[in-house]
């Protein structure tokens, strides 16, 4: 009953926090499943289940209208980017702890802000540059170059950030022409078709109902997480919601501890805190970030 009396902004924040929890659960489940299934099998099943779940949620209310879209080429490109970024994310989570991987991905909002400022020909304040430097220092504390405990795997979240930036701008560009549900539906289908090209080289049928259940679970976490985020951005502004992105880091740390008994070391904790602090302050500064919805998990 209390929720009914909340303002749109408060309900948007609640949906957004729920999305962060679902995304952290997704990452944790992906890392666990990666020990039992090859990348290609997991990706294909994930996109197949996402497409079925999205269609099941969307088609009863929208019918054939859900399939009628403009800019099919852009939707194909978004599906390709989703497949590529998903592959990179799955590999990163296989070789890195969930918390540290998530922490590096938290650089995405500030990178999107800087790219947006460049493309929109808007100046970037010295405060935002300083915060970016601080966040990068935080990332170095998480990665700890020379410690050799992550190795080449630290390049994967950095590559994912670059893919994520392109994905976000394409999503933003599509928003004016294609309904959000249709974007999600078509992207999942096209991503599944892209991954299908690699099926002959990496398919492995899941053995046991528990593995099937885990694949279904990660697909559920992804689909519901993105749906919650869509609801959140429909009720509150990106500027209001952006600081809550960093709750995903707390949820991811909890998931890594509960399932893998992993706790970041002191340097990693410091770096994660620095990234979150710089990101939250950056989200509160005036500028292009206030107008651009940001996701850190389009890849999954």
pTM for this predicted structure: 0.79
Tally the C-alpha atoms within 13 A of residue 277's C-alpha that lie toward its C-beta: 13
Q: How many degrees, rounded to 5, is the angle at CA 265 between CA 264 and CA 270?
A: 90
Cα–Cα distance measured from residue 46 to residue 83, given in angstroms and rounded to the nearest whole number: 11
Contacts of 73 (CB under 8 A, 6+ apart): none
Q: Are 275 and 138 in contact (CB under 8 A)?
A: yes
Query: For residue 20, what are its two tokens?
Result: 């962060």
Determine phi and psi for 26, rounding to 5 degrees: -60, -50
Contacts of 121 (CB under 8 A, 6+ apart): none
Closest CA to 23 of 105, 80, 114, 115: 105
Give, for all 300 residues of the chain, the pLDDT tens digit.
Answer: 455 567 778 888 898 889 889 989 998 998 888 888 888 988 898 888 888 888 888 888 888 877 887 788 888 898 899 889 889 988 888 888 888 888 888 888 777 777 777 776 666 777 878 888 888 888 888 877 655 556 777 788 888 888 888 887 787 777 677 777 788 788 889 999 999 999 888 888 888 888 889 888 888 888 788 778 878 877 877 767 777 888 888 888 888 888 888 888 888 889 888 988 888 887 777 665 545 555 555 445
């Amino acid at each position: 009953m209390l929720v009914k009396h909340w303002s749109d902004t408060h309900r948007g924040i609640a949906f957004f926090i729920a999305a962060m929890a679902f995304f952290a659960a997704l990452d944790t489940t992906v890392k666990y499943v990666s020990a039992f299934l090859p990348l290609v099998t997991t990706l294909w099943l994930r996109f197949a289940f996402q497409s079925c779940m999205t269609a099941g949620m969307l088609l009863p209310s929208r019918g054939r209208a859900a399939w009628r879209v403009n800019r099919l080429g852009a939707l194909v490109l978004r599906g390709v980017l989703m497949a590529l970024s998903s592959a990179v994310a799955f590999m990163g989570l296989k070789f890195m702890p969930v918390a540290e991987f998530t922490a590096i991905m938290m650089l995405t909002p500030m990178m999107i802000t800087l790219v947006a400022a460049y493309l929109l020909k808007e100046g970037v304040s010295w405060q935002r540059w300083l915060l970016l430097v601080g966040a990068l220092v935080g990332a170095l504390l998480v990665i700890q170059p020379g410690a050799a405990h992550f190795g080449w795997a630290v390049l994967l979240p950095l590559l994912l950030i670059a893919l994520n930036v392109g994905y976000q701008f394409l999503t933003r560009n599509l928003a004016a022409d294609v309904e959000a549900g249709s974007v999600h539906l078509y992207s999942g289908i096209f991503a599944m078709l892209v991954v299908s090209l690699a099926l002959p080289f990496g398919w492995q049928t899941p053995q046991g109902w528990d593995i099937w259940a885990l694949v279904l679970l990660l697909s559920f976490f992804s689909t519901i997480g993105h749906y919650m985020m869509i609801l959140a951005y429909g009720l509150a502004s990106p500027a209001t919601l952006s600081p809550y992105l960093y709750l995903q880091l707390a949820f991811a740390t909890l998931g890594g501890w509960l399932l893998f008994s992993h706790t970041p070391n002191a340097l990693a904790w410091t770096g994660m805190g620095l990234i979150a602090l710089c990101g939250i302050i950056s989200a509160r500064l005036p500028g292009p970030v206030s107008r651009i919805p940001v996701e850190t998990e389009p890849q999954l």
